[in-house]
Structure 1
Amino acid sequence: MSDSLAALAARTLEAGTLEGLPDRHWIGGSWQASASGRTMESLDPGSGRAFARFAAGEAADVEAAVAAAEAGFAAWSATAPAERGRVLQRAAQLIRAEADRLAVAESLDCGKPVGEAAGDVRGAARAFEYYAGACDKLQGEQIPLGRDYLAFTTLEPVGVTAHVIPWNYPISTAARGLAPALAAGCSVVAKPAEQTPMTALMLAEILQRAGLPDGACNVVTGTGAAAGAPLVAQPAVRHVTFTGSVATGRTVMAAAARNIASVTLELGGKSPVVVLADCDREAALEGVLGAIWENAGQICSAGSRLVIERSLHDGFLEELVARTRRLSLGHGLRNPQVGPLNSPEQLAKVSGYVEAAKARGCSVATGGNATVDPQSGLGWFFEPTILDRLDPADPCVQEEIFGPVLAVQVAEDAEQALALANGTAFGLVAGIYTGNVDRALALARDLDAGQVYVNEYFAGGIETPFGGNRLSGFGREKGLEGLRAYCKVKSVTARIRAF
């Protein structure tokens, strides 16, 4: 963490807020108060205290944003692809120039350690940089029908797109959706989670300064019920990109279906990390630790299940527990190893799962309790928790907890490990640790997951497609595959007659 970031984080922690945070919607290229005039509080998870207020949007604000996006689409889609690339490239540069402020806002808003937030900001800049390079390379194909015909396809932007952004990775998720949509020539209306509105608003203003036309990117803040639901139901919206729970994903899909709008759904996960006896033990230990404790386990793709071969289990778990107990916990702006949960509701959910597990007689290897910031006595924290030797049917194996809780399952061999890994209704990602290349590739082939990591959890970046199978959703974000949702294919066929 840079000295400048550490200094800004310290000043913000002392002040309890960050000066100059946005407090209105971004619609049509300017800040707009809610039509109702109502506002909401934004709460600091590390202290449980309010640090800012922001606009509480409703259907009228959504209508204004969608109307602005329709006008913005006309201008942006007509912009030359190379110029679109230059705008996105400038946006990447501005994000990097303002990285410290964005990271502190992200940490304050969602609670994660500021060092992790800084990584998210770097990833957001890279997303715009990556898709900037794709703007003038979105091209169709020529179709061979014989010498008497000329047939080809063109890729066109779908139009106005809606982006419903979750609270766990606000700037990352915003960037991975907005950047490809804008690269394709679409316009955007984003609705960040009501718990974490700040960086989506800051990002929209950065895009404006980078040269995006008025209305090409709009952000409406507020609750899912008051602002999110009207947005995904808007007839002018031609594609919805949603990241969130399975239950809400079903609702979003149903609303979009009424308008025959396409959807990308990135939903829940219960992702396994398969650790076999022939693995690099140190790499596996570090991988398992990072897979579950990053952002206090509040990651759709968290490695929330450790599927470990029996012969390795006892010694591996002993060391895993020892390292877990040494993790520092505290307010995100102090840059601990584990920060708070995002809200009291999320803390209650995680606590409920663990208390029920205790009541069932599950083995708690470490952790298991709600707690507070050890320096202030405030905030919404839960101890990093390991539940050992769980039955495949246990709720902590089958259901997404979305917190710092690792469920351990023991396998006799690689074949049983595969069966256990595939033994839930989710299929987002999976990790494999083994020194046997053939075994790694066989497992990667047979695991039912949208993305598989081998010997490094969270390997890859914006270049690698990401998305889930089964209850984890469908469609892919990131990579060139991430552009597909924002393009429609037109085929043109002409008969060529002789002179």
Structure 2
Amino acid sequence: MSDLQQNLARAEGYLARFARDGVLNHIGGVSGPADSGETFETRSPADGRLLAKVARGGASDIDKAARAAKAAFRSWAALSGADRRKILHRIADGIVARADEIAFTECMDTGQALRFMSKAALRGAENFRFYADKAPEARDGQSIQAPGQVNITTRHPIGPVGVITPWNTPFMLSTWKIAPALAAGCTVVHKPAEFSPLTARLLVEIAEEAGLPKGVWNLVNGFGEDAGKALTMHPDIKAIAFVGESRTGSMIMRQGSDTLKRVHFELGGKNPVVVFADADLERAADAAVFMIYSLNGERCTSSSRLLVEESIHDAFVARVAEKAARIKVGHPLDPQTVIGPLIHEVHEKKVLSYFDIAREDGATLAVGGQKLGGEFAGGHYVAPTLFTGANQSMRIAQEEIFGPVLTAIPFRTEEEALAIANDVEYGLTGYIWTNDVTRAFRFSEGLEAGMIWVNSENVRHLPTPFGGVKNSGIGRDGGDWSFDFYMETKNIAFATVAHAIPKLGG
């Protein structure tokens, strides 16, 4: 039996419960169907097979979840940071114990390759451990001196929060949002993406098995137009943390405006990787290939624009094309697979549409550019793709495709490279390859992006801020920046002298 056949057999065991029982909502510690009784289907992008029927929550389900989160808030917020730390560490332990189940389920639900998803659970556990250890200090503030006065600041959890997570790497991104919310003392209503709802169900189970009190974490499945809208408008929900596309973020901001809801958005990107002639070109090529073709290109931080100094452009792009052409496309549970199927036929159609757009705009197809058939029939498989001969006015250089599609653009000078890099509506990340340290400082200072890596692919360090500028988002995750969102800051001023008080009317 091949490795793929063995993995498929293991996946069948993990998925059997979902096929049998469906995916239920979980509100106030109780699992059940949507109030309406309605369901929707989640299918594997690998072959189109039905994985489960999912409860389609609506406004009444969201209302129950919000009220459950509100009822649980006071006691959870009052729990000491040390006690919250213990529970969050137990959640991390539970994630590690079920790491294989999480990885195999995520592969079949999203199409992501096992070589990447095998680490998703461990990264999720790491998120919980990081914020578990920060829970005891979440309320810490500052002592600020003034003449005749001492100011003491403290932080308090904002209240019940809504977390709306995306369909790409949903397990890890859910932990990235929910762990700091719980560490801060907030309660949560989680609405996962409808395209990939399975691991959200595993995660809330793990949390309650670890001792998280009922009602602290509530799960409602559904669509943005009903469950999502109800969550963003609900008066008991004090903040919305959202990961997804920029247009949806704009809609959420409008929907939450009547309740003056705080929002944190991690949105889209059209990120440049800028390669200068003096760079370590082999490492730069490997990094460029990794950051666009790993995770099927379905990542907000992907380096989807390859900006290369003109003197090395042709040779460097040929090197990238050679690497891209050798990438293995296959079933997500095949250990050798790098690129699996795209998440859904709707998204596949969007990605494929850009191939015609690129040709019409005059770009040259160097690698890929087609849907894969034959052994891939029935799934949403798209070949790793590279376009050359592009310029910044083309749609493939301006719009987020969110697939394994790279656009190469030459530049002559540092100034031109910076102008091209900044000439998009997004500003999430940027990647710079040069051995000139002064240029690296100069260029990164001018680059309009929330996160920049110099001579590196995306290597995350949890205490650092994560987020973008322009249409790529609002706010920052990571370290204490997460607590700035999930907590309110209070200042208390103590007079240390009997200062003069103005006398009015006496």
What TM bracket, shorter-length normalisation? over 0.9
In the alignment, is the contact (CA less than 8 A) between 1:388 and 1:407 conserved in 2? yes
3-state SS in 2 of match to 1:52: strand
User: What amino acid is the match of 2:384?
Assistant: P
- The corresponding residue for 1:30 is 30
CA distance, structure 2, for counterparts of residue 125 and residue 440 of structure 1: 34
Shift of 1:19: 2.3
Shift of 1:411: 0.6
Shift of 1:393: 0.9
Residue by residue, what CA displacement relative to the aligned partner does 1:92-130 show, whole Å, maximum 9, x if unpaired?
111111100001111111110012112222211110010
- The corresponding residue for 2:15 is 18
Residue by residue, what CA displacement relative to the aligned partner does 1:444-490 show, whole Å, maximum 9, x if unpaired?
11111000011111122323211110011110112221221001011
Alignment of 1:342-357 (within 5 A): 342-357=343-358
Cα gap change, 1:345/1:130 in structure 2, threshold over 3 Å: closer, same or farther? same
3-state SS in 2 of match to 1:432: strand
CA distance, structure 1, for counterparts of residue 177 and residue 483 of structure 2: 9
Shift of 1:414: 2.2
**Which range is displaced more, 454-463 or 346-355?**
454-463
Shift of 1:40: 1.4
- The corresponding residue for 1:238 is 238
3-state SS in 1 of match to 2:161: strand
CA distance, structure 1, for counterparts of residue 491 and residue 90 of structure 2: 33
User: What amino acid is the match of 1:127?
Assistant: N
Question: Are 1:361 and 2:362 matched, yes or no?
Answer: yes
In the alignment, is the contact (CA less than 8 A) between 1:8 and 1:100 conserved in 2? no
Please list every run of 5 or more consecutive structure 1 residues that lacks an aligned counterpart in the other structure.
none
**Which range is displaced more, 97-106 or 478-487?**
478-487
3-state SS in 2 of match to 1:466: coil
3-state SS in 1 of match to 2:306: strand
Shift of 1:376: 4.9
In the alignment, is the contact (CA less than 8 A) between 2:14 and 2:101 conserved in 1? no
CA distance, structure 2, for counterparts of residue 395 and residue 154 of structure 1: 48
Alignment of 1:485-496 (within 5 A): 485-496=485-496
- The corresponding residue for 1:144 is 145
In the alignment, is the contact (CA less than 8 A) between 2:361 and 2:394 conserved in 1? no
Question: Are 1:251 and 2:251 matched, yes or no?
Answer: yes
Residue by residue, what CA displacement relative to the aligned partner does 1:5-32 show, whole Å, maximum 9, x if unpaired?
978733145x497122361011111212
In the alignment, is the contact (CA less than 8 A) between 1:427 and 1:450 conserved in 2? yes
- The corresponding residue for 2:7 is 9
CA distance, structure 2, for counterparts of residue 11 and residue 480 of structure 1: 43
In the alignment, is the contact (CA less than 8 A) between 1:270 and 1:303 conserved in 2? yes
Shift of 1:235: 0.6
- The corresponding residue for 2:97 is 97
- The corresponding residue for 2:42 is 42
3-state SS in 1 of match to 2:119: helix
**Which range is displaced more, 292-301 or 374-383?**
374-383
User: What amino acid is the match of 2:339?
Assistant: V
Please list every run of 5 or more consecutive structure 2 residues that lacks an aligned counterpart in the other structure.
499-506
Shift of 1:377: 2.6
CA distance, structure 2, for counterparts of residue 174 and residue 347 of structure 1: 24
- The corresponding residue for 1:339 is 340
TM-score by length of 1: 0.95
User: What amino acid is the match of 1:298?
Assistant: E
**Which range is displaced more, 170-179 or 30-39?**
30-39
Residue by residue, what CA displacement relative to the aligned partner does 1:377-405 show, whole Å, maximum 9, x if unpaired?
32001111111121111100111111111
In the alignment, is the contact (CA less than 8 A) between 2:269 and 2:300 conserved in 1? yes
3-state SS in 1 of match to 2:118: helix
Residue by residue, what CA displacement relative to the aligned partner does 1:246-267 show, whole Å, maximum 9, x if unpaired?
1111110111111011100111
In the alignment, is the contact (CA less than 8 A) between 2:92 and 2:125 conserved in 1? yes
3-state SS in 2 of match to 1:397: helix
Aligned residues: 492
Alignment of 1:437-456 (within 5 A): 437-456=437-456
In the alignment, is the contact (CA less than 8 A) between 1:17 and 1:51 conserved in 2? no
In the alignment, is the contact (CA less than 8 A) between 1:85 and 1:183 conserved in 2? yes
- The corresponding residue for 1:413 is 413
In the alignment, is the contact (CA less than 8 A) between 1:246 and 1:472 conserved in 2? yes
3-state SS in 2 of match to 1:387: strand
CA distance, structure 2, for counterparts of residue 241 and residue 377 of structure 1: 37
In the alignment, is the contact (CA less than 8 A) between 2:294 and 2:339 conserved in 1? yes
In the alignment, is the contact (CA less than 8 A) between 1:17 and 1:52 conserved in 2? no
- The corresponding residue for 1:127 is 127
**Which range is displaced more, 286-295 or 410-419?**
410-419
Residue by residue, what CA displacement relative to the aligned partner does 1:121-145 show, whole Å, maximum 9, x if unpaired?
2211110010011111120111213
Shift of 1:159: 0.2
User: What amino acid is the match of 1:10?
Assistant: L
3-state SS in 1 of match to 2:278: coil
Alignment of 1:45-444 (within 5 A): 45-138=45-138, 139-146=140-147, 148-335=148-335, 336-372=337-373, 375-444=375-444
In the alignment, is the contact (CA less than 8 A) between 1:293 and 1:404 conserved in 2? yes
CA distance, structure 2, for counterparts of residue 464 and residue 103 of structure 1: 26
Q: CA RMSD of the aligned region, Å?
A: 1.7
CA distance, structure 2, for counterparts of residue 7 and residue 357 of structure 1: 38
In the alignment, is the contact (CA less than 8 A) between 1:41 and 1:53 conserved in 2? yes
CA distance, structure 1, for counterparts of residue 357 and residue 496 of structure 2: 72
TM-score by length of 2: 0.94
